[in-house]
Amino acid sequence: MVGADEFTALPEAPTARALVPKMPTLPFEAGFDVREFCGLDPWPPRRPLNALQRARIATGLTQHELAAELGVCRQTVSSIENRRSLPTVRLALAIAISLGGTVEELFAADELR
């Protein structure tokens, strides 16, 4: 039996941090690509911009600004640009006037496929 004046030190228990393996730090530099660092496929190539998107960007308008000028919501402009929906004739003419082009240039038949 251990007396009151005797003290036996228990062995140090490992801390929770000591049990977790040290993770390598990622170098976050300007040209650092996480997918390349991990050995994954590179980012998929972006699809080219269509004539409507190029015209909007060339005029310096955002989708929100163009939508406000046309009196529609930004999602409508996005849907038309991404060919998820077709504009009415009146809206197509308004877009062409706002962007300084023609309906034929902005909504080419070969791009609609």
Over residues 49-75, the pLDDT tens digits come to 889 999 999 999 999 999 999 999 999
Task: Give the contacts of 69 (CB within 8 A, at least 6 positions apart).
Answer: 61, 98
Over residues 70-109, the pLDDT tens digits come to 999 999 999 999 989 999 999 999 999 999 999 999 998 6
* Crossing angle between the packed helical segments 51-59 and 74-81, to the nearest 10 degrees: 130
Over residues 4-39, the pLDDT tens digits come to 566 666 667 666 666 666 766 655 556 666 667 777
Domain edges within the chain: 51-111
3-state helix, strand, coil in the chain (%, to 5): 45, 0, 55
Over residues 23-32, the pLDDT tens digits come to 666 555 566 6
Does pTM surpass 0.85? Answer: no
The CATH fold of domain 51-111 = 434 Repressor (Amino-terminal Domain) (1.10.260)
